[in-house]
Structures are given as structure tokens and as C-alpha cells.
Chains A and B, each alone.
Chain A
Amino acid sequence: QTVVTQEPSFSVSPGGTVTLTCGLSSGSVSTSYYPSWYQQTPGQAPRTLIYSTNSRSSGVPDRFSGSILGNKAALTITGAQADDESDYYCVLYMGSGIWVFGGGTKLTVL
């Protein structure tokens, strides 16, 4: 069974830069998995940040960027702000109409 891995938690200082990753329990993440990233605060619906590896969704500031780093997809936040404190989820398209979400990363800004 395919498992998509994310760091359970991460912290960043205000103004700092943080990179969250999204990997596979077996194998490497490539653009062929069309990795996408979502931000969610408690009680709210997810908000789309990045789709298809590195395309920013409408209205998302350019301090959020997506990439492939080594064998993982990555979400980098530069100039972290207090309201970036959220849960972040990646999802990979496995083909044949199947998606798998990662377990999410809880980001703390302090």
C-alpha cells in the first residue's frame, strides 16, 4: 500500500524560510505525480496553494513555492508570517483516477 510521507510537525521563526516535504514510502516523487499542496486552519476547508508541482493557485502569494527536491516534492515558505501557522497537506496523483494524501504537517510560527 502506497504511503505518502510528510513531517508531522515543523517550526519556523517569523520572517524565516521553511521547506516542507512530501515523499513516498517506496520510490521517488516526480512531476509525474503532479504533487499539490493545501493549507488548512482548524475548522476551515482546505485552501489550495500549489498544483502540478510548482503552479501557484490564484491569489496565493509568491512566498509560497513548490518544487521537487531530491526524491520528494517540496513546499517552501519564505518570509514566514504568523498567519502561516496551519496544517499543510500534500496529495499525489497515483494514476488511474487515484489520489493519496500525506498525513499533513503542522507548522508552528514562533
Chain B
Amino acid sequence: EVQLLESGGGLVQPGGSLRLSCAASGFTFSSYTMSWVRQAPGKGLEWVSALSGSGGGTFYADSVRGRFTISRDNSKNTLYLQLNSLRAEDTAVYYCAKTYSHGYDYWGQGTLVTVSS
């Protein structure tokens, strides 16, 4: 059974940093591109970032490029998202998702990031 479990969310001040983790199980982690998708309170889904299975290809939405860094540790079956220079508009539930056929087939339950002073 595929499972994705996010952690690391919390309350952070504007300008602060946070690192999110997504622990994966039930599939060959290193074979799949993984993505982060977020959802601000009461808003729709927004793709944030993706990383190829080997870690060689990183991709970002314009809204986070230069502030967020995606990475993975295939030996630990874990995906990460480093969030720096956080803004109020980064407040959202952050989901990790397993990419399949240019879409997503499995999602985690999400972790809430709140940026507020």
C-alpha cells in the first residue's frame, strides 16, 4: 500500500524558514518524480515544485522559485521542501504527491504551514 506522510509544518514568522518532509512507502521511491502541491485556506490547489526520481531535475512555480528548494533522499525514501523567506501568502496546506503519467496518483494528507507574526 502506497503511503505518503508529510511532516514539518507549523507557525513561522514572515521571513522565516521551515523544512517539510514527506516519508514514502509502498513503492520504489527512486523510480518516480515527486511533487509538492499547496492549498491556501479556502483556495484551490497550486503546484509548487517537482523533482525527478534521480534528483537530477528540479522544477519550481514562479511564485516560489529562488525561495523554496526541493530535494530527496532515496536511501530514506523521503522528499523534502525547504521553505525560506516565507511570506504570508505562503500560508497553506502542503501536500506531497507521487507523479504518475504526468499527473498524480497518490497524495499525502498534508501539513499546514502558517506564516504570521
Q: What residues of chain A have their CB less than 8 Å away from a CB belonging to chain B?
A: 34, 36, 38, 40, 45-48, 50-52, 55, 57-58, 87, 89, 91, 93, 96-104
Contact = CB atoms under 8 A, between A and B. Distances in A.
Interface stretch (B9-17, B20-28, B80-88, B102-110): B102-110
A3 to B, nearest CB: 12
A100 B103 CA distance: 11
Interface string B72-113: 000000000000000000000001010011111111111000
B108 A45 contact: yes
Query: Interface centre among B45, B46, B61, B101, by most A CB within 10 Å?
Result: B45
Given A40-B45, A91-B45, 12 more contacts: A34-B103, A36-B103, A36-B104, A45-B107, A45-B108, A46-B37, A47-B107, A48-B106, A51-B100, A97-B52, A101-B37, A102-B44
Place the interface of chain B in its size category.
Answer: 20 to 34
Interface of B: 35, 37, 44-47, 50, 52, 57-59, 61, 95, 97, 100-110
Contacts of B100: 51
Query: Interface centre among B97, B102, B107, by most A CB within 10 Å?
Result: B102
A52 B61 CA distance: 21
B59 A91 contact: no
Contacts, number: 71
Contact of B101 (A40, A55, A87): A55
A99 B47 contact: yes
Given A89-B45, A91-B45, A102-B44, A97 B59 contact: yes
Contacts of B105: 48, 51, 57-58
A45 B57 contact: no
B25 to A, nearest CB: 16
A101 B44 contact: yes
A48 B50 CA distance: 18
Given A89-B45, A104-B44, A38 B104 contact: yes
Nearest to B33: A97
B54 to A, nearest CB: 13
A48 B104 contact: yes
Contact of A46 (B45, B46, B50): B45
